[in-house]
Structure 1
Amino acid sequence: MQTWFPIVRDAVLFALAIYGAILSTFNWRQAAKKDRRQITVNASTARPTFGSELGAPFAKVEAVNIGHRVVTVKTLAFETSSGARLTPMLVDRFPGMPDTKLPVSLSDGQSAHLLLPYSDIAGALLSAGQAGNVKLTPICVDTSDNVYRGEAWDVDPKEFLRMSSE
């Protein structure tokens, strides 16, 4: 009985130490994640309606704070694969839905949005010589210059121009 007892005791203590290390690492990661800035960025299409008539299409960039820490957003835009950014020259172009005034502080669950007319996006891309398919990524930049990116859109500027004139 005395020969196997130290082996079992050491094995149990070793297993307990491993369990404690794993639990400690898990708790540290959860705490670090909770204290980190967390913004999700999405792009979608919005169209105003006027009775039975549809208005011109708009691209909507939306940033949502999904973390517990307050984040101040200073830029919402689309970014091309070359790093150029599409930002509006005029704000509040969508009837009845003003753009979020930037910079804005977002607490947990709050969002900010920007609406860009398809025609403006197409015009900017075509004037920059980008006539083929272009990847546009919705981005959000906070006051600490952290850049948050959403899922990229494959955009044909000529198609955007056609859609906006319908």
Structure 2
Amino acid sequence: MAEALSTAPAGETLEQAYVRVAEEIAAIVAGETSETARFATAACVLAQNFAPRFFWTGFYVVDPLKPAELVVGPYQGTLGCLRIPFGKGVCGAAAASGETQLVEDVHAFPGHIACDSRSNSEIVVPVFRADGSLAAVLDVDSESLGAFGPEDRDGLEAICQVLLTA
């Protein structure tokens, strides 16, 4: 696996940056009951803290009327795909499996859905409600190949774990 690129401020490790960002997001959304507001806040804070490595940062939410389909939610970046069926592409794979997908080269991923051809690597993390149901997936794309590594997986999973429980 390629080594993940860091966009942490000078003197701060990527792990420390994720802890700081997670604390910032938790503080902002504390007491907020709207999932949309929580997702919008997280997308904004993540994009601002990890740009330019994070080319596209946002959420695809489970459509309550079509529970086997994701619909674009709050995001930062270029135009996103509007709908993604479970099992299709990286986001659909994360939704169907309930597991984080870390993809070094999206063009080599079977069934990849190209919402923006400039995206080359991707990490997608499921977001579960306190009751264990899938609410959404967090999708982060990079223009660089192999941009994401274990630090990103751990940091983003920690943020997603508290996003709807804080």
Larger radius of gyration: 1
The TM-score, its normalising length taken from structure 2, stands at: 0.27
The TM-score, its normalising length taken from structure 1, stands at: 0.27
Comparing both structures, which one devotes a greater share of its residues to helix?
2
